[in-house]
Amino acid sequence: MFLVLLAGAVNSGPVNKFYFLQVDTANIPNAPALSRWTYWNLCSVNSNNRDDCGAVHPDFPLDPPSYRNFGTTTNIPHQFLGTSKYFYMTRFMFPFMLMALFFGVFSLFTGALALCSRIGGKLSGFFAFLALFFQTINVSLMT
């Protein structure tokens, strides 16, 4: 979760090899030959097969025809035209990822209490379940 979340925000290895979508965009004007979407921005791919990302924007949407991505409708697949479905799906991924990460880390820390008491084990299990719940929503939106 940390590596996927940090991808695009940090432009150094090994994190700049992670992304959640890669697309051949060679025939789209104003687009690089190969584009990778992360939680933070749209990245082109350099000759070393690493992400070459620009400015960082949290909760970056997958919206190819808009000014945020390519700013054109030429050669964009028709599924992206005239709809905001993918825009909202990718915008909601980011908060669910943050909630899953928060509860996962909280579960890790309360897991130390599980060594001392039963209530610590129950708390840790509850927070792990919440992390799984929010991560499941995140992954469902991502696919």
What pLDDT is attached to residue 102?
95
Q: Say whether 97 sits in a helix, a strand or coil.
A: helix
Asked whether residue 129 carries a pLDDT value surpassing 80, the answer given is: yes
**Confidence class of residue 130 from pLDDT cuts 50, 70 and 90?**
very high
Is the model more confident about 54 or about 121?
121
pLDDT in tens, 77-104: 888 888 888 888 888 898 999 999 999 9
What is the per-residue pLDDT for 106?
93
For the chain, which residues make up each domain, given as ranges? Answer: 1-83, 87-143
Mean pLDDT of 4-28: 81
% of the chain at pLDDT higher than 90: 24
Residue 86 CB-density burial (10 A; 0-12 exposed, 13-18 middle, 19+ buried) = middle
Q: What is the DSSP letter of 39?
A: S
Categorize the per-residue pLDDT at 108 as very low, low, confident or very high, splitting at 50, 70 and 90. Answer: very high
Query: What pLDDT sits at residue 133?
Result: 97
Tens digits of per-residue pLDDT, 24-73? 888 888 788 888 888 888 888 877 776 677 778 888 888 888 888 888 88
Phi, psi (rounded to 5 degrees) for 62 = -95, 100
Q: How confident is the model at residue 21 (pLDDT cuts 50, 70, 90)?
A: confident
CA count, 13 A, side-chain hemisphere, 23:
20
Highest mean pLDDT among 19-23, 28-32, 111-115, 123-127: 123-127
